[in-house]
């Protein structure tokens, strides 16, 4: 196995791990925040949306983990 493949697997395991939604969810929330900033929403509003989005991702992930 080449060092590049091992390097890639390390970062995948480090960033994604077992719960891919905890990696993708906050990235999607940041993308949404960027869209809202470009649309002219205030900083406080974007911060609130970002907080609620990340909290919702965490809540859904915990609920899914408890169900399984």
Where along the chain do its domains lie?
A: 18-67
DSSP-derived 3-state class of residue 19: coil
Model confidence at 17, in pLDDT bands (50, 70, 90)?
confident
Query: For residues 21 and 58, is the Cβ–Cβ distance under 8 A?
Result: no
Residues present in the chain in total:
68
C-alpha–C-alpha distance, residues 53 and 47, integer Å: 10
Tell me: pLDDT of 46 over 80: yes
Model confidence, pTM? 0.78
C-alpha distances in Å from residue 41, one per residue of 4, 44, 51, 68:
42, 8, 15, 39
Tokens of 59: 């809540």
């Amino acid at each position: 196995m080449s060092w590049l493949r091992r390097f890639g697997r390390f970062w995948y395991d480090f960033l994604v791990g077992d719960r891919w939604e905890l990696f993708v969810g906050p990235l999607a929330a940041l993308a949404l925040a960027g869209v809202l900033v470009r649309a002219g929403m205030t900083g406080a509003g974007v911060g609130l949306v970002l907080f609620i989005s990340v909290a919702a991702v965490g809540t859904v992930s915990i609920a899914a983990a408890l169900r399984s």
